[in-house]
A = this chain, B = another copy of it.
Amino acid sequence: MVSIIERVGKALEPLMLVMGLVSPLATLPQLYKLFFSHSEHAAGLSLITWVLYAFIALLWTTYGLYHKNPTIWVGNCLGFIMYVGMVVGIIVLTGGTF
């Protein structure tokens, strides 16, 4: 168990910037479903959840800029854009929900 953690942890070290981009990019299929293929199911998406995701990504972006650390701010800035897209879609398509 400990050796798995050490091996994975060490392997991830040079991949941090890439890892920070995966979650934002992973949001694309969710945006596609919301805006194009499954808009009639927008009510199943939580506005609270996506507003908070956007808010936290914005705070991390600010924190990363403050520390001049692109590993933090690049991914979070992209995340912020994606999550705001979700928020806009949910509001427009449902007219407001929780």
Contact = CB atoms under 8 A, between A and B. Distances in A.
Interface in A51-71: 52-53, 55-56, 59-60, 62-63, 65-67
A78 to B, nearest CB: 13
A6 B68 CA distance: 11
Given A9-B63, A9-B66, A32-B46, A53 B41 contact: no
Interface residues of A, number: 41
B29 A48 contact: yes
B66 A19 contact: no
Nearest to A49: B30
A91 interface: no
A26 interface: yes
Given A23-B52, A26-B53, A33 B46 contact: yes
5 contacts: A6-B66, A9-B63, A10-B66, A38-B44, A44-B44
